[in-house]
Structure 1
């Protein structure tokens, strides 16, 4: 079963984090949440999240995908953590998936992983002029090679379903989506 790392930074967007974790686990993926520090994670709206482990305990492990929840200041904490940047660059060099939602695509941009690609990001979270090699769009979800980005909390379900499809195929995505009783 494919494995997914979801790093949880203090101040992450809880709706995104929980939606991603929940839907990927519904699909049967091996999801590991890892805190950047040893404390419970206080999300952007005050929700307390408990990570499965600490990032330092899984930093040497290989994952099929790394998914970054957004939110502020969570995305800033991810961008400032050299372990996260190194993991993302290693993931990219190995041709494995990296994904980010809301303000977190700026972590991918800071790491240089969006150069020459299309991406989406929460409005105002990134100054497009600072990244002239990136084509920013207003799409809900953008897949460009092994990089997946999404717009914000309102697109979290679509984002997570797209990640399921990339890792397990359309049938698995459809099965999870049916169980959610979403109306289209």
Structure 2
């Protein structure tokens, strides 16, 4: 759907159409979780390591595709902490005749009490700067480099203080999504 109010009943799109995607955590403690998308990759098969592939979210939540000229890619402002909505333009891989792509994302749900950090963020690239949908834009400064948390740099990651079993992690794959070159 164009406004994320329901599921799209088709999996056929044309190059340039906007894909509106939503990831959400729906565990029994969902209201106490904040969802993050660490990375997303588009590939021609369900195997995210296959080639060709295109990472459009990397580095613990940096929406790199938003840096492309004329891009409409971004994380939508949050409607609830346990979900993230995003949009990007449908595309095909150059010099490949297959019209289907698979999107694989690494998701994690942390404690809702955890603040944004260089490894827990959702950063858009707007007007030549990185903006975090949860505020605290300074956690996005690492998006053009490598993001990690380190007490020595002044950035702390409360996730490192939270037992690993309290951070839910999952890899999800969407597809195949059919993308046709023209209407």
Name the one with the larger strand percent.
2
Q: By the TM > 0.5 criterion, same fold?
A: no
The structure that has the greater radius of gyration is 2
Q: TM-score, normalised by structure 1?
A: 0.28
Q: Which has the higher contact order (CA 8 A, sep 6+)?
A: 2
Name the one with the larger helix percent.
1
